[in-house]
Each structure stands twice: as structure tokens, then as C-alpha cells.
Amino acid sequence: MRQRIQRMLTAAVGLLLLLSASGCGFSFSPTDLYSLPQLPEEYTELNSSLNQLLESGAEYAAPVSGSNIQPVQLEDLDGDGEEEALAFFRNSADEKPLKIYIFTAGKQGYEQAAVIEGTGTSIYSIAYEDLDQDGRKELLVGWRVNTDLLALSVYTLRSGEPEELVQGTSYVKYAVNDLNQDGLWELVVLRADEEGNGIADYYCWQEEEFQLRTSARITSTMAELSQQGRVKSGVLQDGTPALFVTGVEESAWMVTDILTVKNGELVNILLSDVTGVSSEIAPFSSLYPEDINGDGITEVPHPEPIPAWGNVGEDPCRRIDWYTYTSDGTKAAVVSTYHSVEDGWYLRLPDVWKDQILITRTAGTEEVTVTFSYRGDSGEPPQDVLRITKLTGSGREARATRGGRVILRRLPEIIYTAELLDANGSWEYGLTEDEVREAFSLITTEWSAGDS
């Protein structure tokens, strides 16, 4: 009896947390967790169905990666305005132990409508995408087959029963995008071929069927993609949609390939016919392609060393030069930044600063400062122009306005400030406070389906 109550509590609490997070309009206090939550009436039948599955020997097996990792998820799969419920289970006694149960809302509450079954050790990830733009979402399910192998399946429910559009292809990462600009979504799957080389498979709609159309080579191995690698959907300089695939080798080097569609074929515009690898190779800086300047075009980061004044023997700071690419692989420099990755911020550098500044970073217990200086004339020391400080600790508010500091950003536990130093006023390329505020940004991270 005790075990049954515990299972019911787990199911009910999971649903309440899910529904609260999805904005379904009800809440509860922490004390409510000590008693069995009362679900809204429309979820009573669903809760009963989930408990029957638990009592039959199944256990929850939520996806372990991606943005959808709840054991029970609500999603409008058929576009009718009513959310379906998807529950993720494992029943080790079955030939196909991994289960995704799909429940639809009816007059009597939620009823089981379909089940997707799979083999392997876990459900790795799930994403919901309307690939053919018919108003119904397809399910992209990553199965963990074993320690070294993931398999991707794509299911449609257009007939009411799960139909597999892509059948268990091995992969490390994938992305969806309208690369051929036909109004439908395509799928690019990154995997290794028989020799271990990186391959990108391109699936698209042909005669109302979702089929493998073509493949392209990529530089990175699957090991270089699986850990710190990223796949970013973006846009080239001429407005062409593309995928930016970045692999990382031993946290030291990053290589970026750019995939786009030409004449219906997937091509890697940076892959050299001579060397067989991408032309975009740079030291790893924990940065990836993004629209750094907000112009709607995706830029690729390329770090360049900057001498660090007074830090003899330490690694130099790095200026990040950002480049855009056209469909033929031609690149153009757009903007340069200094990224203080450890401290969570970056500064867009004026073009005239590019080869004239030195940077010093000093880390204290509750203050981390980065000082920008310009090179003095021959034999003269650098002149300090700007200092940006990250403040933490209980006294940060008082310290935020000390010594001419101006506040750039305020977070719950952090304050970022700037100081215009003595040499700023006399240097012809000095900045105003407003220019510093405009150039300063916080570093943000984003998740995409390619990280599944």
C-alpha cells in the first residue's frame, strides 16, 4: 500500500510541476507536497492510467538530454488547440522496453491513443517539429542504444498511429531547418561513416515522402562534436539559410563547417578540395557562431592574441574577430569583441582599437577587473583608458559607485561597472559612458535541437 501511495504521489507531483511550469493557471505551496496533491478533474483519468502502468511493472524513464526532460509532457501535437500528454516509461520485462505513451483529451478526460516503443538503455531526447507544415507535429526521438551509440527516429501521427519517417539512423547531433527555402522543414543528421569520417545526411520532402536526399562531408569527428561541439541554424551574408557545425578538439582547437543547399544538394562551403578539411580553424575560446551584432546574419568567431600588459609568462588575452560568409565561402570581417568568458560579459571594440590596445585581467575575491590600455609611444608605458569590474559579495552595492564607477548591469548576485580612466579623456579614440553602455553585453547561452 505504501509503495502504491508513493507511486501516485510521484505521478501527481510530476504532473503538478509540469502544469505549473507550462502556465496552466494553478499553484501550490511547499506544504502541499506533504499531502497527496489533488489534480484537476480533467487529469484524473490520466493519473489513473499512469498509475496502472506503474503497477504493471513499468517505471518512469524521462529523456535525459535536450530541453524536454520531464517524465510527463504536454504538447499540442495535432494543432487542434488541445494538448496531448506524453508519458515516458521503461518496462524491462518487454522485448521493446522503452515506451512513449500518447494520451489525447476526450470528454471523459485523457485516454491512451498511441504508444511508441523502442529498444536500448534509455530515451535520450525528444523534440516536436511540424516538418511538413500541415499543422501536425512530428516526434524526433533519440534512443540511447548503448554507451557508444545513439539512434534517431522520426515519427508522424497523421494516420492516428505512429508511422516512422526516419528509421533509427545513428547520429551524434541533428538539426532541422528550411535549407532549400521551400516552406517545409528538412533534417540534417550528423554521423560517422564506416571509416569514422564525419558525414551530414540531408533528409527532405520528395513526393510527400520524407527521404534521404544527399550527404556531405564535414571536418569534425563525432568525438569532437559530441562533447563541446555545437550545431547552429543561421543565415549567410546573402540571406541564404545554413547550418554552422563546430567541433572541438581536446578543448584546444575548434573547426567550423558551414552546410547549405545548392541546386537541391547539401554542400559544405568551407571544405577544401585540396586538404579535405574546413578553412575555418581557430583556437577554442568557448564561443560559437552567433549573430553577435544583431544584424540578422550569423557570424563566426576567430580569436586573435592580444599582448597582456604586466602578465609576463601568462597566456595572452584574445580579441575575437567575427566573420560573415557568403554562399561561395567568401568571408568578411564584421566586428571585433573582447569576451571575458569567465566573468560572463563581452565588449564590442571600436574598429580603431583593434591593434592599439592591451588588456589586463586581475581577479580578486569579490572583484574581477579588466583594464583596457592603449600602447604608449616608443619607450612609454601603456595608458589606462577603461576598466570594467565584476562585483560580488555583500558590499557590492556600496562598491558599485565608488571611484567614479557607473553601473552597466545589475544581476541578483552580481553588479557590472565601468570606469573611464585618466587617459580616456586625452586619447583621441576615448569613449563616452553611453558608448561603453552600448558596447557592453552579457554572455548568454542558447539551446537548440542540434544539442540533442
Q: Report which secondary-structure segment, H or E, holds 437.
A: helix 433-439
Cα dihedral 257, 259, 265, 269 in deg (nearest 10)? -50
Residue 14 has what pLDDT?
54
**Res. 350: pLDDT tops 70:** yes
Q: Is residue 398 one of the residues assigned to a domain? A: yes
Q: Is residue 63 one of the residues assigned to a domain? A: no
Residue ranges of alpha helices (H) inside 221-362 are 222-226
**Res. 8: pLDDT tops 60:** no
Bridge partners, residue 151, by sequence: 143, 170
Q: Report which secondary-structure segment, H or E, holds 216.
A: strand 209-218
Residue 278 has what pLDDT?
95
Structural domain span for residue 387: 355-440
Residue 72 has what pLDDT?
95
Tell which residue, 368, 386, 398, has the closest CA to residue 427. Answer: 386
383 CB burial (10 A radius; 0-12, 13-18, 19+): middle
Q: Is residue 369 one of the residues assigned to a domain? A: yes
DSSP line for 3-45: HHHHHHHHHHHHHHHHHHHTT-S----GGGGGS-----GGGHH
Question: In this predicted model, what pLDDT tens digit does every residue of 194-215 receive, in sequence order?
Answer: 999 999 999 999 888 899 999 9
**Nine-digit cell string for 343:** 566573468
Helix, strand, coil shares, percent, the chain, to 5: 15, 45, 40
308 CB burial (10 A radius; 0-12, 13-18, 19+): middle
φ, ψ (nearest 5 deg) of residue 18: -60, -50
Q: Measured between alpha carbons, how far is 303 from 305 in angstroms, rounded to an integer?
A: 7
Q: Is residue 384 one of the residues assigned to a domain? A: yes
Q: Measured between alpha carbons, how far is 38 from 27 in angstroms, rounded to an integer?
A: 11
Q: Is residue 134 one of the residues assigned to a domain? A: no
Say whether 224 sits in a helix, a strand or coil.
Answer: helix
Q: Is residue 280 one of the residues assigned to a domain? A: no
Distances (CA, A) of 212 to 135, 150, 166, 203, 260: 23, 18, 9, 4, 15
Q: Is residue 386 one of the residues assigned to a domain? A: yes
Tell which residue, 276, 236, 242, has the closest CA to residue 261. Answer: 242
**Nine-digit cell string for 86:** 506524453
**Nine-digit cell string for 164:** 516512422
Q: Measured between alpha carbons, how far is 246 from 225 in angstroms, rounded to an integer?
A: 7
Average confidence score pLDDT of the chain: 88
Give the total number of structural domains in the chain.
1
Residue 38 has what pLDDT?
56
Tell which residue, 346, 378, 369, has the closest CA to residue 421. Answer: 369
Q: For 37-41, 139-143, 231-235, which range has the lowest pLDDT when averaged over its residues?
A: 37-41
Q: Is residue 308 one of the residues assigned to a domain? A: no
**Res. 354: pLDDT tops 60:** yes
| pLDDT band for position 437 (cuts 50, 70, 90) | very high
**Res. 352: pLDDT tops 90:** yes
Question: In this predicted model, what pLDDT tens digit does every residue of 370-400 receive, in sequence order?
Answer: 999 998 776 678 899 999 999 999 999 999 9
Q: Measured between alpha carbons, how far is 12 from 10 in angstroms, rounded to an integer?
A: 6
